[in-house]
Amino acid sequence: MKPLVLLAAILFIVSGVAAAAEPPRPPSGPKPLETSCVQCHAQMDGELLEPTKHTGDDIHFLKGLSCHDCHGGNPLAGTDGDPEAAHDVSKGWTGKPARRQIPGFCAKCHADAVYMKRFDPHARVDQLSEYRTSVHGKKNAEGDERAAVCVDCHGVHGIRAVGDPRSSVYPTNVANTCASCHAKPEVMGRYFIPTTQFAEYKRSVHANALYAKGDLSAPTCNDCHGSHGAVPPGVENVASVCGSCHSREATLFRETEAKSKLDLSACIQCMVCHSNHAVLAPTDAMLGVGPVSTCTGCHAEGEPEYDAAAKMSDGLTRLVRIEADARQLLDRAAKAGVEVGPDLFALQKASDQIVEARVLAHGFDLDRFLAATNEGVKAAETGIDSGHRAFAELRYRRVGLALSLIVLVVVIASLALKIRQVETPDTEPPG
Amino acid sequence: MSDRLPSRAARLRAWLEERVPVAPLLALAREKRVPLHRHTIWYYLGGMTLFLFGIQVATGILLLLYYRPSANEAFESVQFIMTKVPFGWLIRSIHSWSANLLVFVAFAHMFSVFFLKAYRRPREITWFSGVLLLGLMMAFGFSGYLLPWNTLAFFATQVGTEVAGALPVVGHFALRLLRGGDQVTGGTLTRFYGFHVAVLPAIATALVGLHLVLVQQHGMSVPPGVASSSKERGEPGRTMPFLPNFLLRDLIGWCAALGALAALAALFPWELGAKADPFAPAPAGIRPEWYFCWTFQTLKILPGHILGIEGEILGILAIGAGGLLWLLVPFIDRTPAGGNGGATSRLLTLAGWVVLAYMTVMTLWVYVVPGGP
């Protein structure tokens, strides 16, 4: 019998654990505002009143969930002031979870694919497992009460949908949310983590795209570090992180590695030239051997790489100058009234080659780079020829106009003479 | 040989005359006389309008040889005309500039007829056909504006057809009739092309024919002031022969107009702009052609609601009613031609000046204050 008892005991424990981890049933019973929870807490003060203030904007309330769906208890206990009836442990009352328990508390629902699909067929359910891989999650598992948990980023009550611009995790708010801890020396000091990232990020080309241009696809903290699985990217995977958006640059970088059979990851990575949080808008001056060149940081005069950088810079500078000249010429011709739409369209090839060359700079292949700039120069020179032709056409039109006007003046003068002739006193009929 | 040529030419003339008798028409033209007085200059506006209409027909036919009326090809075909076809830029620019000059001269012609009281009995039908012709010229302008399928044209057509759509009762039908659907699409372009090169020219040809026949039939109207002073003096008014005196002066005006068109086309070629993109946002400062600006500005400044009726609808109805009254002017001022008229005639003259001033101010408003009120 003993094995059977043991088996029964194991089954009992497993079923108990399973029951404890079981997510709540879909919303049922009283509506959020009709529960005894809201009705009683609405009459309280301070933090006990706080949750009832968010019944109109919290995503859970809006989806029909109520207090007891997270905290358990009896929502039908009435409003006679008996908290024991409402906080009925036999009905699953858990109260306020400890910080360490919060990830598991939220994951009761958010890690359950079947449950979450009832609300959103695309809902992700990997947040907890991701979180466990993060620095935050590991610290939490170690018992660090200060490590960030779900509510530190998403809020406690009054949690809004990620797509809501007022949400603390909406793209334009993410950096501020992260900075609420990561920009505070008193918080980060104990972990020996610098707190300059937020200030640096705000100066970056990424922040400019996100805030000034309103481009919601521009990267913010979680796009590089991950959301729930937040970790600082190591040196070995910076290129992968940047390459998730800048894919061509990353591919060229990898090609160079493969071709040279060198492991460049340890010495040159994106951030060596572009920095990490303070990624400034790149300029052509970063290429070459000038005062703001990033190449000269590693390559000294006399090295073949130094010469290659100089040649690349010369090629790109020449292409940019000729393309600008061609565009200016064609724009002037257009303002003067010559239709140069097809020529401007053809000049786009030169502009494309500028972009192409700027990308190819990440391949460190001089021949390939110069082939691209030469192709662009050829297109730009065609544009300049078209501009000169447009101005020749303009001169031709003006000469033609002058000749036509001379002919017309002669005709008008002849007609005037003819009128004088037919209207002499001898010929003019009486009125 | 040399003395046989004239006889051959004479024989050819006789052969032609037998089959196409033009001699009576020439005799009629030689007999035709034009009143000569201080307002004679206004008589040239009719001929000028006709000349510009001829320019439109000629240049329009040339453009037709290359133009392709579809959303995918219209812009490119006009670009081809302007860049590849020899003198294509000149033909297109003259067509566009001449269209604007035509509408301007037609307006000037109509107002001169109005202020000189040339609409009075028995010229009521001449007036009707003239006013309708001006409306047709504006319709030519509206339909032709879309044909290059550029951004400005696309959105101006969208706004213009929306005005038709705001008409009570028939608005939705009118909008769908004009657009060929609920939106401005390639279907609208094809439809406007049909209006521009077939429907409107057919109606215009008939109306121009009627207008010219009636002008020949009734002759030039003498303004009341000139007629009464001749009457007081007891002598007939001075005249000049149409052929060749008036026609020679007409020709001088037409040559000058041709020179002006050539200069405008060469120095300020009509821009093509960017190809229409129905998914792009409307560019700022969209406005219709200048001759629609006064209606555009009127509708723009009206409040949202007037006496419980939507302001735009009320504005459209008021402009429509004004146009109808303008058309019926000969029935409001029933004084016969040459008569001095009474209070009604003087009131009409005053109303004409008010209308002209209103149209001018509203048009200038659009150009001087682009952002609007």
User: Cβ A401–B272 below 8 Å, yes or no?
Assistant: no
Which of B83, B90, B149, B247 to probe the A interface (max A CBs under 10 A)? B83
**pTM for the full predicted model:** 0.73
A427: pLDDT strictly greater than 50: no
ipTM of the complex: 0.88
- Enumerate residues 6+ apart whose C-beta is below 8 A from B50: B208, B212
- Enumerate residues 6+ apart whose C-beta is below 8 A from B46: B109, B215
pLDDT of residue A105: 92
Of B236, B266, B272, the CB nearest to A341: B272
User: A–B: how many Cβ contacts below 8 A?
Assistant: 67
A27: pLDDT strictly greater than 80: no
Beta bridge partners of B169: none
A78: pLDDT strictly greater than 90: no
Q: Note down pLDDT in tens along chain B; length 373 residues.
A: 445 556 888 999 899 999 999 888 888 888 899 999 999 999 999 999 999 999 999 999 999 999 999 999 999 999 999 999 999 999 999 999 999 999 999 999 999 999 999 999 899 999 999 999 999 999 999 999 999 999 999 999 998 999 888 888 899 999 999 999 999 999 999 999 999 999 999 999 999 999 999 999 999 999 988 888 888 888 888 899 998 999 999 999 999 999 999 999 999 999 999 999 988 888 887 888 999 999 999 999 999 888 888 888 899 999 999 999 999 999 999 887 777 778 888 999 999 999 999 999 999 999 988 654 4
Over residues B236-289, the pLDDT tens digits come to 888 999 989 999 999 999 999 999 999 999 999 999 999 999 888 888 878 889
pLDDT of residue A140: 92
Chain A contact present for B259, CB below 8 A: yes
What distance in Å separates the CA atoms of residue A61 and residue A94, rounded to the nearest whole number? 19
Cβ proximity of A157 and A58 under 8 Å:
yes
Q: Alpha helices of chain B — where are they, by DSSP H?
A: 4-19, 23-31, 44-64, 74-83, 88-115, 124-146, 151-165, 171-179, 186-194, 200-218, 224-233, 247-267, 293-301, 311-327, 329-332, 343-368
Top mean pLDDT of A67-76, A385-394, B223-232, B361-370 is at: A385-394
Q: Which of A162, A189, A168 is nearest to A180 (CA)?
A: A168
**Distances from the Cα of B238 to the Cαs of A155, A244, B249, in angstroms?**
96, 90, 17
Q: Which two tokens mark B123?
A: 């010229």
CA A223 to chain centroid: 7
Of B83, B248, B262, the CB nearest to A404: B262
Over residues A258-278, the pLDDT tens digits come to 777 666 655 557 888 888 898
User: Cβ B259–A405 below 8 Å, yes or no?
Assistant: yes
Place of tokens 């529960």: A35
A9: pLDDT strictly greater than 70: no
Sign of CA dihedral B213, B219, B223, B228: negative
Over residues A298-321, the pLDDT tens digits come to 889 999 999 999 999 999 999 999
Over residues A91-118, the pLDDT tens digits come to 888 888 899 999 999 999 999 999 998 8
Written as one string, the DSSP assignment of B61-119 is HHHHTT---STTTHHHHHHHHHHTSTTHHHHHHHHHHHHHHHHHHHHHHHHHHHHTTTT
Collect all residues of chain A within an 8 Å Cβ-Cβ radius of residue B89.
Answer: 338-339, 397
Report the chain A residue with the minimal C-alpha distance to residue B33.
Answer: A431
pLDDT of residue A20: 43
Residues of A with CB under 8 A from a CB of B: 337-339, 341-342, 397-398, 400-401, 404-405, 408-409, 411-412, 415-416, 418-419, 422-423, 428-429, 431
pLDDT of residue A429: 47
Over residues A339-350, the pLDDT tens digits come to 999 999 999 999
Which of A339, A345, A394, A399 to probe the B interface (max B CBs under 10 A)? A339
User: Cβ A422–B262 below 8 Å, yes or no?
Assistant: no
Coil, strand or helix: which one is B231?
A: helix
Question: Quick one: DSSP state of residue A89?
Answer: G
What distance in Å separates the CA atoms of residue A174 and residue A161, rounded to the nearest whole number? 13
User: Cβ B268–A337 below 8 Å, yes or no?
Assistant: yes
Q: What angle do CA A145, A148, A149 make, to 5 degrees?
A: 90
Torsion on CA atoms A110, A114, A119, A124, rounded to nearest 10? 50
Residue A348, min C-alpha distance to chain B (Å) = 15
Query: Is the N-terminal amide bond of B370 cis, ω within 30° of 0?
Result: no
Coil, strand or helix: which one is A228?
A: coil
Cβ proximity of B330 and B120 under 8 Å:
yes
What distance in Å separates the CA atoms of residue B338 and residue B323, rounded to the nearest whole number? 25
What distance in Å separates the CA atoms of residue A372 and residue A315, rounded to the nearest whole number? 9
pLDDT interval class at A13 (50, 70, 90): very low
What distance in Å separates the CA atoms of residue A296 and residue A199, rounded to the nearest whole number? 27
